[in-house]
Amino acid sequence: MDARLQFIPIMIVGFGATLCLTPLTRQIAMRLGVTAAPNTRNIHKRHVPLMGGAAIYLGFACSLLLFSPPDHLRELGAIVAGTTLLAIVGYLDDRRHLSPRIRLLAMTAAALIATAAGVQIQLFHPAIDIPLTLFWIVALINAINWIDNMDGLAAGTSAIAAGFFLLLALSQGQILVSMLAAAIFGSAIGFLIYNFNPSSTFMGDMGAYTLGFVLAVLAIKLKFAAQPLNVTWMVPIFVLALPVLDMNLAIFTRLLERRPLMLAAKDHVSHRILALGASQRQTLALLYLFSLGYGALALYLSQAPVEPALAAGGLGLLGLGLIFAGFIARRWAAQRSAHEKR
């Protein structure tokens, strides 16, 4: 088989395995009592099974293990090892609510495993690049976990991002990145069938950690032969525009309001759109369109001449900045109005 077409069976296996395993994980979660109760971050009003991430992890791992080429075994082995560690810790957190310190240590350990296998940002000197790599991986794991606050959002956003990473990798002839993207794309879509509103199961931290880790690795591994760095650094940011925007918005808001950074709250992008009067499905559709739009912009940057790419990238960054500022301004105005009414 042409190496460029290896992504097809990988995608099919990831999709099929996750599709078949998700109902089983739902039954296991109900028997073990691993369910998500309504809280200050999520918007559901009932207990929902919380082990769908096991199906995502198993679908992803199986698809890679079945089709791994020998020349990429070292990196693929490290990535599977990292996702395995995170899936185990995610399960324990879903069941026993681990402390933020333990979760952070596990994320850092998974990032170190990937880094030791050669998954590294290469921008400056290794003394800077390695800490930057660890920060990026840990940050994106949390970013995907944070957007897992309404039906279909984390799974759908991750599938869209993985789909664009797949297209970008294929355009650059990057086999390893194509395989990883195909595996996580198929697994996310297989789970999304059960997770779309109204959801019958949630992925939990097992799934969010797996998705976030793999997407972070994809962003690092993606390389462009023809485009300069002052263009290509924007490509993964735009592919992952929603989780990047959401995490920065939540952190800035919590710092501004002097609240703990890790305390769950309804201050994410999805919550702010719902507060405007949109339904869950309308909110989901809008955020999917946002992710698709920025993914398409990333594709354009990877192919366009340098000057138009820089102009388009600048407009894309400006758009993110305006959205960020708009959300902050509206929240401030709403809080001021509420205070004046007291």
Residue 170 CB neighbour total at 10 angstroms: 17
Q: How is the chain split into domains, by residue range?
A: 3-341
Q: pLDDT of 256-276, one tens digit each?
A: 888 887 777 788 999 999 999
pLDDT at 71: 76
pLDDT above 90 as % of the chain:
69
Higher-confidence residue of 86 and 173: namely: 86
39-48, 201-210, 321-330: which range is least confident on average?
39-48
pLDDT at 7: 85
pLDDT above 70 as % of the chain:
94
| Span 77-84, average pLDDT | 94
pLDDT at 325: 95
pLDDT at 50: 85
pLDDT at 126: 86
pLDDT at 225: 83
Mean residue pLDDT of the chain comes to 90
Residue 1 has pLDDT above 80, yes or no: no
pLDDT at 247: 95
Residue 91 has pLDDT above 90, yes or no: yes
pLDDT at 213: 98
Residue 143 has pLDDT above 60, yes or no: yes
pLDDT at 227: 86
pLDDT confidence tier of residue 45, bands split at 50, 70 and 90 = low
> CA 17 to CA 183: how far, in whole Å?
11
